[in-house]
Amino acid sequence: MSLIVALDSPDREFGSLVEDLCDIVDGFKLGLPLLMGRGVDYAARLRSRCNRGLWIADLKLADIGHVMKLTTSLVVEHVDAVIAHGFVGIQGALGELKEFLNSLGKKLVVVASMSHPGAREVYDKALPLILNVIGELEPWGIVAPATRPQVITSIRERLGDSVTILSPGVGAQGAEPGAAICAGADYEIVGRLITSSNDPRAAALAVKDAQKQRLQACKRGA
Ligand code: O7M
């Protein structure tokens, strides 16, 4: 099963949690509150506790290429991938960022849609245009909401198998573990359900187990 843990809280020491989860999860996503609150060197310190899996800086960049590259350069050496919004377009923005990341051997992940209810107000309406951007840009990965699996299915149909789909919204935001994977996602991103648990390792193992059961059920067509 494919599980990435979101680390967001700026006032929390995540070192032992990272070490505890290292052998059972597929990676960690570092949120802006964490990176701004603890400083980018904290990413390196966390990574030294688990040098495996995918480490992602969730910068949610949305700026001109020049500025997105400056922001990225502050943290990129400590991570494998960086997240940017898709609505800024390619020319003078995502195209430059992708080239920069490619030159460093790092991955670009683009937000296609979001998990919160307000995503219906703008993001869903803009989705066809954002998918045009993603189709042309060909980033390594995209973000699509576990809370609305039908969006994932339609994106997968449109973009095919070559793009990696990462899906947040599991647990605290209401999506069941495994639902996004059944709909076509490659990874589920889980934050508070695991990080706020008294026993994060047990919570992560429970998520993986629930993913497995859900996947078996959806393969049977349930
Ligand atoms: O599981 P949670 O709700 O505690 O955390 C969800 C994480 O996923 C958190 O780090 C959010 O910033 C992120 N996220 C969303 O919740 N919704 C989105 O639409 C997009 C993201 C995200 O990761 O974007 C890159």
Q: Which domains does the chain have, with CATH numbers?
A: 3-221 (3.20.20.70)
How far apart CA 190 and CA 194 sit, in angstroms, is 7
What token pair was written down for 222? 């349930």
Among 12, 28, 32, 58, name the best residue to mutate to test ligand 1's pocket (greatest count of ligand atoms within 8 A of Cβ).
58
Asked if residue 21 lies in contact with residue 5, where contact means CB atoms within 8 angstroms, the answer is yes
Whether the full predicted model's pTM is greater than 0.95, yes or no, is: yes
- In this prediction, residue 41 carries a pLDDT of 96
Residue 80 annotated in active site: no
Distance 139 CA to ligand 1 centre (A): 19
Which residues surround ligand 1 with Cβ inside 6 Å?
6, 8, 29, 31, 58, 60, 83, 111, 114-115, 143, 145, 168-169, 171-173, 189-193
The backbone region for 165, taken as left when phi is positive above 0, alpha when psi lies in -120 to 50, beta otherwise, is beta
Q: At CA 208, angle to CA 203 and CA 212, rounded to 5?
A: 145
Query: Tens digit of pLDDT per residue, the chain (222 long)?
Result: 699 999 999 999 999 999 999 999 999 999 999 999 999 999 999 999 999 999 999 999 999 999 999 999 999 999 999 999 999 999 999 999 999 999 999 999 999 999 999 999 999 999 999 999 999 999 999 999 999 999 999 999 999 999 999 999 999 999 999 999 999 999 999 999 999 999 999 999 999 999 999 999 998 876
What token pair was written down for 168? 């947040």
Task: Name the residue with the closest Cα to ligand 1, atom 17.
Answer: 115
Cα–Cα separations (whole angstroms), residue 4 to 18, 35, 53, 67? 11, 17, 9, 27
Burial pattern 195-213, b for ≥16 Cβ within 10 A else e, equals bebeebbebbbebbebbee
- In this prediction, residue 1 carries a pLDDT of 63
Q: Give per-residue pLDDT as tens, 143-160.
A: 999 999 999 999 999 999
- In this prediction, residue 102 carries a pLDDT of 98
Report which of 135, 101, 74 is spatially closest to residue 84, judged by C-alpha positions.
101
